[in-house]
Structure 1
Amino acid sequence: MSRLVYLAGSFVLAILGLFAVARATDVGMSLFGAGLTLVSLAFGLFLVKRGADSLWGHG
């Protein structure tokens, strides 16, 4: 259950990062939004992989 909450939080952060990129008026905010999006997506994929590993017993 906690992985689902973390995954939802990661999704929300990725959406906020995309929103920051779309509304950016300077390079710094654009880079921040892109970084937030990439880190959030990577964390979400890590959680999905970890959940799949625990389901099939590979870890």
Structure 2
Amino acid sequence: MDPMTKMWMSLIGIGLMAIAAVIITFARIKTKGVIKGILSTVAFIMLCIGFLLGLLSII
């Protein structure tokens, strides 16, 4: 894999993790019930994808 592809994968992974942190913070402070669960699940999925992209950019 060329270095530019690794760079973009890493940046996208970092971006997804940052967005996930914002979403989970918003969900815990401003929402309740089902919406809180949905936002938390979406944030968790984004966090996992960001982690995998970061891991792949290292390999």
Equivalent of 2:36 in 30, 38, 45: 30
Q: Which residue in the other structure is 2:14 paired with?
A: 8
Cα RMSD for the two superposed structures: 1.7
1:1-59 CA distance string (max 9 Å, x none): 212331232023212221232211x3122112211221111011111221122xxxxxx
% of aligned pairs identical? 12
Higher normalized contact order (CA 8 Å, seq sep 6+, divided by chain length): 2
The answer (yes or no) to whether the contact 1:20–1:29 under 8 Å persists in 2 is no
Per the normalisation by structure 2, the TM-score is 0.65
Per the normalisation by structure 1, the TM-score is 0.65
Q: Supply the AA of the counterpart residue of 2:52.
A: F
Aligned residue pairs total: 52
